[in-house]
Amino acid sequence: MRHHLRGFTLIEIAIIAIILGIIALKLLPKLDNVQRDARIATLEGAKGALDSAFDLFATKVKTEQTLAPCTLPFQSEMRCLTVNGVEIGITADDHPAILSTVQHNGITQLLAITSIDLNEADHRTEKYQNKLNYEDEAEHFRAQAFWILPPTQEGWIHARDSRCKLIYLPLGNPNNHQGKSHFELITDGC
């Protein structure tokens, strides 16, 4: 005797698709929260590493006797300590590093005092690599800040408007109310 095997009916397939859709809709917000939490944790970890690097730099400045006038544009009125061949600016009042915020000098100075995994956007393709991303206002004559954004595979976004970033506020920035150069964490758009 032959048994005839039957597949699912169209109604059964439709019901399964609806059930899977409902499950997916319930899980998507949770997945989005996991991604948001990961972006925030990445930025918090980077901020901790940068704060520690600034503290170590300030300690080195207090013990170092070989400070010289800076030669970088926009830092010529400061004294500099050379670290790994890179000038880092300081003032008498601000022993934490004062990093340049123009012409991509900030990333060079930042990488001289810390080993954070950081890259700039490839300006030929306007794409970031999947790492922490550095952006400054290279086109502005006197920029006031630079930004570190979480890992992304997306194209360049305007870092000034992003609500998910670390922002470097040097001494003298009108938004700096701490009296020293520092990083602030902005996460309400992660």
Question: Which pLDDT score is estimated for 185?
Answer: 95
Q: Rounded mean pLDDT of 67-87? A: 84
Q: How confident is the model at residue 40 (pLDDT cuts 50, 70, 90)?
A: very high
Handedness of CA 56, 183, 179, 67 (dihedral sign): positive
Q: Helix (H, G, I), strand (E, B), or coil: what is residue 90?
A: strand
Order across the sheet with 118-120: list the strands.
118-120, 132-136, 146-149, 165-169, 182-186
Q: Picking from 50-54, 67-71, 109-113, 121-125, which range would have the lowest pLDDT averaged per residue?
A: 121-125
What pLDDT does residue 77 have? 80
pLDDT at residue 155 is higher than 60: no
3-state secondary structure of 165: strand
Return the sign of the alpha-carbon dihedral for residues 87, 89, 92, 95. negative
Domain positions in the chain are 30-186
Local confidence band at 35 (pLDDT 50, 70, 90 cut-offs): confident
pTM: 0.75
Q: Across all residues in the chain, what is the average pLDDT?
A: 80
- pLDDT tens digit string along 91-114? 766 567 888 887 678 888 988 998
φ and ψ at 181, to 5 degrees? Answer: -65, 140
